Structure 1
Amino acid sequence: MKTSPFLNTIRQSMRARGYSLRTEKTYIYWIKQYIVFHKLKHPSSMAAQEVTAFLSHLANHNNVAVNTQKVALNALAFLYNKVLKTPFGELDFKHAKQYRRLPVVLSTLEIKAVLDQLEGKDKLLFSLLYGGGLRITECLRLRIQDIDFDRLSLTVRDGKGGKDRCTLLSSLIIPTLKEKIVEAKVIQAEDNKQGIGPSLPYQLGKKYPNAFRQSGWMYIFPSIGLCPHPLTGELCRHHLHDSAPRKSLKKAVKKANLDHKRISCHTFRHSFATHLLQSGRDIRTVQELLGHSDVKTTQIYTHVLGQHFAGTASPLDALF
């Protein structure tokens, strides 16, 4: 399929600056939407007025969430600031409505009920999500070298915002995790016979052409099939796609009779944070484990605790 030279220029600009593939796809999507909205006019012939009209349209007619509108704005800011070199300055657009939605949190018994309905790699994966407060993509991108059994810790590489962090590894899943690592090494060994290995960061693959043979770079949750590397086009084995665990979770939630709740992969991360605060861990520690830049982001979990704000209880409790 033929790709627009203009969009290719944007992609190359993002890759030169080290943007993630996920961010690249998202920005390209919103830039396309912007161009289509203005009837295929080239962005270089448009400016702040057109950007304002597009962002206001998202809020007024598409009813997008505030974060979605922010992502669209960031994509257009990158386009004009970094690619076209014509910053559009201050904008006066209608902001999307921002609602504060409390995260869905499961009790420890509910977490156990869901995990009991899972088997094999799915049970291990969701145990890691809950045990370490991981995002689903962070978990799927874990490589063998990111596990430290001695220190009971996991290292999340290039997490949200491009940050690395360490989080907790539960001792309960060590035997299962070691078995999964052995399985992953067997897959890697078979791939290596064909000159194939796990997908690597582009620049690292160029600098160390044989790194794909080192077991440390193997994904703990490798994909079933091979695929072309998104940047180099070379055949490799990527990590499992996030659609697979999502389907397994949906079935497990139904079997556990919890399908009346809005449970997603991220619910396990929310539950991790809330349960740590319930057990008396200080909020700064939880903030660091989650990788939040601002403690205000972590503070939302204080609102889903059984007792809010330093143990304050309902006045009704004092009547009986």
Structure 2
Amino acid sequence: MKSIQNEIRLRGYSYKTEKSYLGWIRQFIYFNNKQHPQNLGTEEVKSFLTFLAVDRHVAVNTQKSALNALVFMYDKVLKQPLGEIGFTLATKQRSLPLVLSELEVQTVLKQLKDGNKLAVALMYGSGLRVSECLNLRLHDIDFDQNALRIINSKENKDRVTLLSPRLFGAVRQLIEQAIVVQKNDNLLGIGSSMPPALGRKYPNAFRSPGWAFLFPSTTTCLHPISKIECRHHLHPSVIRKALKLAVSQAGIFKRVTCHTFRHSFATHMLSNGTDIRTVQDLLGHNDVKTTQIYTHVLGQHYAGTDSPLNRLDFDEDI
């Protein structure tokens, strides 16, 4: 497991991917009665994936994550490529993203307070994932350009997206609070968590206000890689719990998650006439086909069509 971890870090994969890969590989080993993977092969991998699909009823993407972890281990670490497994993953049908109306977004925001309200407002106003929102550092905010820099997001991509001027006041207030937290931590010789390589190159960077998180955690912790005491950003579960309560108080019965506000951002941008390629860039999609799913939510895929019921003459009080 240590050699797999070293190989993952050597390739610069995210910590989230590292945890996922190690978790799936550990499950694979236990599934095969703790045998060393070197003594296992294609048939055992196929049996494990079948178990996940048939007995555990996991989603298609979960199945793919497990397969990716095992392929990485055999190909990059054990140097025993699996080759053709002869296993067909379940096909995933297209599912439309759930979006909120502008009124519903407004109603939910009214139920939230302080940092939780700003986080959700940023996810909706800038099209951010919850991880991107919480990973924001003070030097990523550009008031002059009305912009946010999103660094090392999904697939290690960087991009620039919008920052609504309506949030300037709340963001500036949170910046002041984050700097106070940073200064108090510096007195104790600690600061914001840093990427290990960058922390070694710039050993005092953790003292810089620019590296402070906009949404700092309420407690310090040990960095999972460097083991140095530091302050990370707020855990996503804090926002999710606050959002769940707010949705309930707003009387909305849709299944609303943090990602719903990113979907709503894209849909509302398109409905207001924004070019789809612009929305693609703001969201950070590699392929415009990914962004086109929101045209189905709008109904623009069927532009010019109308329900046949509208052409009937009948009692409208039906």
Structure 2 match to 1:255: 249
Distance 1:171 1:309 in 2: 35
Mapping for residues 102-141 of structure 1, pairs under 5 Å:
102-141=96-135
- 1:153-173 C-alpha deviation (Å, 9 max, x unpaired): 111111111101111111100
State the shift of 1:319 in Å: 5.0
> Partner letter of residue 109 of structure 1?
L
Distance 1:278 1:220 in 2: 31
Preserved contact between residue 307 and residue 313 of structure 1 (Cα < 8 Å) = no
> Partner letter of residue 287 of structure 2?
D
Distance 2:190 2:304 in 1: 56
1:267 partnered with 2:260: yes
> Partner letter of residue 94 of structure 2?
R
1:41 partnered with 2:42: no
> Partner letter of residue 92 of structure 1?
G
Distance 1:133 1:93 in 2: 36
State the shift of 1:307 in Å: 4.4
- 1:192-240 C-alpha deviation (Å, 9 max, x unpaired): 1111100000100001000001111000000001100111111100000
State the shift of 1:311 in Å: 4.7
1:290 partnered with 2:283: yes
Structure 1 match to 2:177: 183
Instruction: Find 1:79's aligned residue among 73, 76, 83.
Output: 73
**Matched residue SS, 1:198:** coil
Total equivalences in the alignment:
313
**Matched residue SS, 1:231:** coil
- 1:12-61 C-alpha deviation (Å, 9 max, x unpaired): 11111111110000001110111111111111111112111111222222
Distance 1:119 1:311 in 2: 42
Preserved contact between residue 53 and residue 93 of structure 1 (Cα < 8 Å) = no
Distance 1:183 1:311 in 2: 51
1:221 partnered with 2:215: yes
Unaligned runs of 5+ in 2: 314-318
The more displaced of 245-254 and 294-303 is 294-303
The more displaced of 261-270 and 287-296 is 287-296
Superposition misfits of 4+ residues, deviation over 6 angstroms:
none
> Partner letter of residue 248 of structure 1?
A
Preserved contact between residue 64 and residue 96 of structure 1 (Cα < 8 Å) = no
Label 1:13 to 1:70 Cα distance change in 2 as closer, same or farther (>3 A): same
Preserved contact between residue 59 and residue 97 of structure 1 (Cα < 8 Å) = no
Structure 2 match to 1:3: none
**Matched residue SS, 1:173:** helix
Distance 1:222 1:92 in 2: 47
1:192 partnered with 2:207: no
Distance 1:81 1:125 in 2: 40
- 1:282-303 C-alpha deviation (Å, 9 max, x unpaired): 2111111111112221111111
**Matched residue SS, 1:154:** strand
> Partner letter of residue 222 of structure 1?
P
Distance 1:141 1:76 in 2: 29
Instruction: Find 2:10's aligned residue among 5, 13, 16.
Output: 16
Preserved contact between residue 184 and residue 221 of structure 1 (Cα < 8 Å) = yes
1:65 partnered with 2:34: no
Unaligned runs of 5+ in 1: 1-6
Label 1:311 to 1:161 Cα distance change in 2 as closer, same or farther (>3 A): farther
State the shift of 1:99 in Å: 2.9
> Partner letter of residue 87 of structure 1?
P
Distance 1:184 1:311 in 2: 50
